[in-house]
Amino acid sequence: MGISPQIGERRGSRREKKQRKTSSQVTARQTMATSRNAHWNTSLTPTTSTNLMIILGMMQVTKKIPFEDENVLNLVRAIYIGSNVIIAALYFYIQIQINKKKDMTTLKYVEPAPMGSSEEGKLVTTTIHAYDSNQLRQLWRGQLMGIAMMSFMHLYMKYTNPLVIQSIIPLKGVFEGNLAKIHIFGQPASGDLKRPFKAAQGFMSAMQGANGTVQSDKKSVEAAEKAGRGGAKEE
pLDDT, averaged in runs of 10, over the chain (235 residues)? 52 52 52 44 66 91 93 97 98 98 96 76 94 98 97 94 94 97 97 88 50 81 78 54
Domain that holds residue 178: 5-233
Specify the number of domains making up the chain. 1
How many residues in the chain?
Answer: 235
**Contact of 150 with 80, CB cutoff 8 Å:** yes
Q: E strands along 39-121, which residues?
A: 106-111
**Side chain identity at residue 186, one-letter code:** G
H or E element in which residue 122 lies: strand 122-127
- The pTM of the full predicted model, rounded to 2 decimals, is 0.76
User: Which of 22, 231, 34 has its CA nearest to residue 149?
Assistant: 34
Q: Output the pLDDT for position 203.
A: 45
**Contact of 169 with 150, CB cutoff 8 Å:** no
Q: Output the pLDDT for position 75.
A: 97
User: Which of 142, 55, 32 has its CA nearest to residue 91?
Assistant: 142
Q: What are phi and psi of 108, to 5 degrees?
A: -120, 135
Q: Output the pLDDT for position 4.
A: 55
